Amino acid sequence: MVKKIIAILFDFYEYILLLILVSVSFSILLINEVPRVRSLQGDIDDTFAFIHFPGIWINQLSGLLAENEVLKRENLQLTLQNIEFKEAYIENRRLKQMLNFLDSTTFELAPAKVINKGTTPIANSILINIGKREGVQPNMAVISTKGIVGKTIAVGDITTQVQIFLDVNFRLSVKFQNSRALGIMRWHPDGRAEVREIPNTVEIYPGELVLTSGYSKIYPPNMIVGKVIEVNRSENKLFQSVIIRPVVDIDTLEEVFVILSY
């Protein structure tokens, strides 16, 4: 084995000697302080700099990926904060409207938040966060700053179920502001609020306001209910019917008032 190694070294001694001399030369160049040598070192570094490019690129890419993740998290946090600020602004605006409404009415009102919406076996209803503790009883009118919402039907200590005007069993005595005609408003499954059996001699026009009549122990008079959007009359009939669009949008309703007394 040793003889084979010696034979190989003897056969290739010229190449081995060259490699040793080149290595020594490079070592001398690297530790030499002579300006010309330093300049040569710089040229050598430039020539072989491409060897380092993959490592530099990988490090830069890793840094960019990490920075991108940080920016994503910060962007998400800012988005969430922006949503919270916007919600707070909108809620503050609604609460100001409620306070102004409280100041402008002589009714005894109990403000409440809507905590659930839906259809129950009893009625198409909403659930609000006040009850007997706040003086709420069944068959009290529920309104918003825009108009009539419904009436209380099931009252607990801290929550109350409210039958809303969208329920097919809901009835409301109304009057038309200009014509002074009276009628009973009811809601239909096809999405229409309608007043029937109005004498054909009464002139009612689209856009006319519809108000509570006051002929009720539940609803005070002159509360806004909606606007006329269609009048159906025929010369061959004694009565006409009127289609109404309620002013309150139940889908966007978040706060209401219960009228405790008026």
Which pLDDT score, from 0 to 100, does residue 119 have?
A: 64
Which pLDDT score, from 0 to 100, does residue 236 have?
A: 79
Which pLDDT score, from 0 to 100, does residue 118 have?
A: 77
More confident residue, 171 or 120: 171
Which pLDDT score, from 0 to 100, does residue 107 have?
A: 85
The domain limits of the chain are 39-96, 103-164, 171-248
Our CA angle for 173, 176, 177, nearest 5°, is: 125
Q: What is the CATH number of domain 171-248?
A: 2.40.10.350
Which pLDDT score, from 0 to 100, does residue 83 have?
A: 62
More confident residue, 49 or 208: 208
Question: Stretch 231-247: mean pLDDT, rounded?
Answer: 88
What is the token pair recorded at 76?
């998400």
Which pLDDT score, from 0 to 100, does residue 67 have?
A: 72
- Assess whether the region 103-164 and the region 171-248 belong to the same CATH fold: yes
Read off the pLDDT of residues 62-92 as tens digits, 9 standing for 90 and up. 666 677 777 766 666 666 666 666 656 565 5
13 has pLDDT over 90: no
Helix (H, G, I), strand (E, B) or coil at 138: coil
DSSP string, 126-190: EEES--GGGT--SS-EEE-SSSEEEEEEEE-SS-EEEEETTSTT-EEEEEETTT--EEEEEE-TT
Read off the pLDDT of residues 184-237 as tens digits, 9 standing for 90 and up. 999 887 777 999 889 988 999 999 999 999 898 899 999 999 999 999 987 778
Which pLDDT score, from 0 to 100, does residue 234 have?
A: 78
Question: Stretch 99-113: mean pLDDT, rounded?
Answer: 77
Which pLDDT score, from 0 to 100, does residue 160 have?
A: 95
259 has pLDDT over 60: yes
Nearest-angstrom CA–CA distance, 51 and 54: 7
Q: What is the CATH number of domain 103-164?
A: 2.40.10.340
